[in-house]
Chains A and B, each alone.
Chain A
Amino acid sequence: MFDTITDAFQKALQLIFSGDPEVFATALRSIYVAGAGTLLACIWSIPIAVLLGLYSFRGKWLIKSLFNAMLGVPTVALGLILVMFLSRSGPAGFLHLLYTTNGIALGQALLVTPIIVSYTSSALSATDVQLRDLAKTLGASHLQTNIAILREAMWATVLSLISAFNRGFGELGIALMVGGNIAYMTRVLTTSISLEATKGEYAFAVALAIVLLVMVVAITVFVNLVERLRE
């Protein structure tokens, strides 16, 4: 078994360093769906986070609890619900998103919403409460005040976006069920690893897994480095 592992790693490294087009196309597709999913989720997640982090209203704790609970939602369950919604006879069938990369991106956007909302709203509510009064007394409008506070929590927000991206990048259930793992179309790193491992093609699976891990680590280290330099 040890030989199999070392052999797989050797072949994996050969595939990566020889610039295997299939490995790189799959990696780029993964970056696209996770990136698009995270950006899409920002459209609704950041305003919700501002609402939960900076304003008080009845039932806020319940909404926050629901988002916190959804942090661990099983991707397969979410994928299943999405398939039913996006299938031709489903309520969102007219969008023609099933078995497309945009469909996976939409699914991942829903998956990462609780991550962005929970982490960003917590960071916002942890900012100095007096900063809001300060911004207001210096003449800032509601929007300018919220932007100023969001800027105070910028690094925590960036980290929540990185976590969201990494979650999307590494998930399997949605990509498999909504994307269908179609070669050259919707195949991403995780679905490809799963397929290759099932076929016994460990070298290719390990090559993809290395790319996946290196990218996740590299992005996080890069962001932390920028934060450190900024400090």
Chain B
Amino acid sequence: MSPVLELNGIVKDYRNLRALDSVSFEARGGEIVVLIGVNGAGKSTLMRIIAGLEEPTNGSISFNGQSMTAKELRKNATMVFQRTAMFNRSVYDNVAFGLRVRGEDDKRISEDVPQALRLVGLANFEKRKAKKTSGGEQQRVALARAFLLNPKILLLDEPTANLDPNNSMIIERAITNRKKEDEIIIMATHNLAQARRLADEIVHIYNGRIVERSIPDEFFTSPRSEITRKFINGELEY
């Protein structure tokens, strides 16, 4: 059975700012849900809540019908951040980190890490200092690190932002190849072309609210929301 993630009325307030307002949607295994919206719309906040890195002010998240706390969500979800963070260690140690904290044995780690690196086009990068690799390579290391954990929910926060077309293409290909029935992929982007290429469903967030949710063809050809129409046509002021 493919996993199901349900968000019910998620609200997130920061002092006087409402970052998310009654956000509800559902995602299923085997599909890529793309969160789209302008900077500051609330995409990253929503991703962080799904990843269990922040608690919502209100609302609930359930996974396979079970209500989840932030700690429980962290056991099922792994997030790749927009600005890649690397430990000051080798590429191998960075990719192995998640398995090590889970107590996996060294033999399995030594087999799985090179394999995960090959999937993102970084074979033989194991011994390099992670922080001394390029931005694109670091983002691919981050992707390999997340892939290796086989999370049930994979969250990708603008994984190709600030990358050159070649690195973006490699990452998009790795994400597409990754699609599988027992994993939900949620990706945030403000790149419309990328959303069209990768998404099974697009969720448009504006000012912390979902204003449109549809399959890519409908989203781009016949949006129901005026805000989405303006966003697609580059007419949205924010």
Contact = CB atoms under 8 A, between A and B. Distances in A.
Given A133-B53, A144-B101, A138 B149 contact: yes
Contacts of B146: 138
B220 interface: no
B101 A141 contact: yes
Contact of B98 (A138, A141, A151, A152): A138
A131 B86 CA distance: 7
B88 A138 contact: no
A136 B77 CA distance: 10
A130 interface: yes
B85 A136 contact: no
B24 to A, nearest CB: 23
Nearest to A152: B88
A148 B48 CA distance: 21
Interface residues of A, number: 16
A139 B87 contact: no
B81 interface: yes
A136 B81 contact: no
Interface string A67-102: 000000000000000000000000000000000000
A151 to B, nearest CB: 8
Given A137-B79, A139-B78, 19 more contacts: A128-B85, A130-B85, A131-B85, A131-B87, A133-B48, A133-B53, A133-B79, A134-B81, A134-B87, A135-B101, A136-B52, A137-B52, A138-B78, A138-B146, A139-B74, A139-B75, A139-B101, A139-B149, A141-B101
Interface of B: 48, 51-53, 74-75, 77-79, 81, 83, 85, 87-88, 97-98, 101-102, 145-146, 149
Interface of A: 128, 130-131, 133-141, 144, 148, 151-152
17 contacts: A130-B81, A130-B83, A130-B85, A131-B85, A131-B87, A134-B81, A135-B97, A137-B52, A137-B74, A137-B77, A137-B78, A138-B98, A138-B101, A139-B75, A139-B102, A140-B101, A148-B97
